[in-house]
A and B are shown apart, each in its own frame.
Chain A
Amino acid sequence: MSVPHPHLHQHDFDRSTLHPRHRALMPKLAEAFFAHEGPMDPARLASFSVEVDRAISTASKTLRFGLLAMLDVIMWSPLFIIGKLSTFETLSLEDRARFLTKLEHSKIVPVALIFVAWKTLLTMVFFEEPSELLALGYPGPARTRYLSVVKAA
């Protein structure tokens, strides 16, 4: 995972944003967003959740409150979105994915924005993992032209 580099002159402030209920929700949310070959490795999801917490914790109190409120909406709204009397984290992977797809295509703009806000944040952090980048076809520092320019320099 992308963790603060030990050689950085200044480290992250030691702040946490996610409450216990959000920490329980986050791996389930991430799995619904990113699983494409069945359930994902719980250890990977746990470390990912820690990194997401770090990523949002430098934001202001108001923004962090807003992000948590959105998570609460996700947690409690399956009944209204897909008609399941259940909280998000207790849904099956298939239902969680169906729920998120409904959010994405919702005609109610604020509902769609909840999806966009968390998808953007989670995707940005998730695809920083070098193996995920490689899977997308991104060769990293080995890209052809960059490599030749750096070598020439």
Chain B
Amino acid sequence: MQVHDACDAILHGREQEAPFFASVDVVIVGSGSGGAVMARELARDGRSVLVIEEGGHYLPAEYGQMTPSNSIRRLAREAGLAVAVGRGDTPLISVMSGKCVGGSSVMTGGVCFRIPDDVLHEWSTDLGLGELTPEKMAPYFEEVERTIHVETVPESMRSRSSQLFVEGAAAMGVTMKSLRRNTVGCKGAARCNFGCPHGAKMSVDLSFLPDAYDHGARVLSDALVEKIDFAMNRATGVRGRFLDRVTGEPRVPFTVQAKVVVVACGSLHTPVLLRRSGMDTEAIGKHLTLHPGFRICGMFDEEVNGWDGAMQAIYSDHFLNEGLTLVGVYSAVNILAAALPGIGKEHRRVSAALPRMAVFGGMIHDDGGGRVHRWLSREPLVTYRMSARDRARMFKGIQILGTMAFRAGAREVLLPVFGSEPIKNERDLAFLTERPPPAARVESMSFHPLGSAKMSKGPRGGVVKPTGEAWAADNLFVADGSVLPSSIGVNSQVPVMAMSLKIARGLCDDWSKYARRAS
């Protein structure tokens, strides 16, 4: 059935007044980069598919009506205030993840990378995951990139902030490259992270899911899955409650029976659902990687107006061997203002320089050290212990960014260290590596939580098989960023989609086996 309006394929849980029951071939928990790809593939293969999403459904025109804070509280988990609590000398890391139809893909900057070859080599050799070689993964990456329309950001879309980043890098002998993003007709609205108002960013709600709808898949939004049902160690469905239209608290119950259950709630919630459903696999919730990110602000004499152009247009892998990726970033002005030091008159003074401010960013290809714990509410407690090596990488990355800003002509540099004074010259950055401040004072953020239900060659040390099926239960699959076996060092939406596509294809190929078990 051709669905002309996405709204026709979506049942809004908050409008449900009576208990709901459905029986389908496949129920998918989560509609983000993992769940949407699974939905399309399985629906195309002729399966009846129901996707259940805790968040609401919005259209691109609606994204455009939301201010950034409006958008964050509707589209993001924890109203955008989720954090990983630092253990030891570790920053408190802000962790952004989506809670809406389309998941975090709605809130990305659109940046697209494949998993680097050396990471795939490590997985396929050291970890024994022989199906994850660069050659075997390439077709999945190609198909994903076609579907979400990955294209190189043209130089004409670079903001002046990005141009200054390129100039500063060049002065250090570092080449910046153009990023690739999943866009069609980007107009440079510079608010990708709050939902593209022009529908130009091909998040999965605009790419994979419409195709899934056309093949019969349906979505339940505003529906919280609380438990996976099992019979004889086989997943048989899920149950939960729709969110009340007034309070947002779970209220009206629903039950879905299915031959196969796919969990795709993302790295923060997949472990919580598995644990809450009684699974005791040791690795659930462990090995979380975050790619801790940081940024510096360079204050220039010229008008930069960094908001005019694509939010993210350039990157450098020059320092990849040292565990660092540098990325051009910008954000909504009110969010940038929140990161500036001081209050009252002093904050106004610094904020008045926003038109002359450029923002440079970077992230760490981290060693892991994160854990997801069940907690007192339906959101998890996330903890993260940064390794000594990653701390050194982080301060070195901040120093490199600061140096680039000065080489590009910055008059002063604001560091992401709470309570620190503006830096006036390049020499004053040396303390970052010689006498670094406590890492706990660094302002850090993460957009790529990964690996908390990781894939493994054997049942020890992992949660799912190379097929994506859980080691501990039949007909239960995990297909999201949580299955990635280690940090990848690059933005994760394409890797998650490609991995889910691979898992989906395997599931389709062996469907008769899983259906036979279910009967």
The answer to whether A150 touches B74 (Cβ under 8 A) is no
| Interchain CB contact (< 8 A) of A146 among B78, B189, B248 | B189
Cβ-based interface call for A56 (8 A): yes
Residues of B within 8 A of A41 (CB): none
Q: Count B interface residues, CB 8 Å.
A: 66
| Interchain CB contact (< 8 A) of A61 among B348, B376, B438 | B376
Q: What is the number of contacts between chain A and chain B, taking CB atoms within 8 Å?
A: 174
Residues of A within 8 A of B62 (CB): 5, 7-9
The answer to whether B73 touches A12 (Cβ under 8 A) is yes
Task: Determine which residue in A2, A5, A145, A146 has the highest number of CB atoms from chain B within 10 A of its CB, and name it.
Answer: A145
Cβ-based interface call for B449 (8 A): no
Cβ-based interface call for B460 (8 A): no
Given A63-B81, A112-B419, A128-B69, A145 and B188 touching (CB < 8 A)?
Answer: yes
Residues of B within 8 A of A14 (CB): 246-247
Residues of A within 8 A of B377 (CB): 60-63
The answer to whether A104 touches B69 (Cβ under 8 A) is no
Q: Fill in one digit per residue for B326-344: 1 if any A CB lies within 8 Å of its CB, else 0.
A: 0000000111011101111
Q: Smallest Cβ distance from B208 to chain A, in angstroms?
A: 21
Given A112-B418, A153-B187, A10 and B344 touching (CB < 8 A)?
Answer: no
Interface of B is mostly: loop
| Interchain CB contact (< 8 A) of B352 among A104, A123, A136, A144 | A136
Given A8-B58, A136-B352, 15 additional A-B pairs, CB 8 A: A5-B65, A5-B66, A9-B59, A10-B12, A10-B56, A10-B74, A13-B247, A55-B72, A58-B74, A62-B377, A123-B338, A125-B334, A133-B334, A138-B354, A138-B355
Chain B interface residues (CB < 8 Å from chain A): 7, 12, 14, 56-59, 62, 65-70, 72-74, 78-79, 81-82, 92, 185, 187-190, 243-248, 305, 307-309, 333-335, 337-339, 341-345, 347-348, 351-352, 354-355, 375-379, 381, 418-419, 438, 440-441, 443
16 A–B contact pairs at CB < 8 A?
A: A8-B66, A15-B247, A34-B344, A34-B347, A58-B73, A60-B379, A61-B376, A101-B343, A113-B418, A121-B338, A123-B347, A124-B338, A127-B334, A144-B305, A145-B309, A146-B188
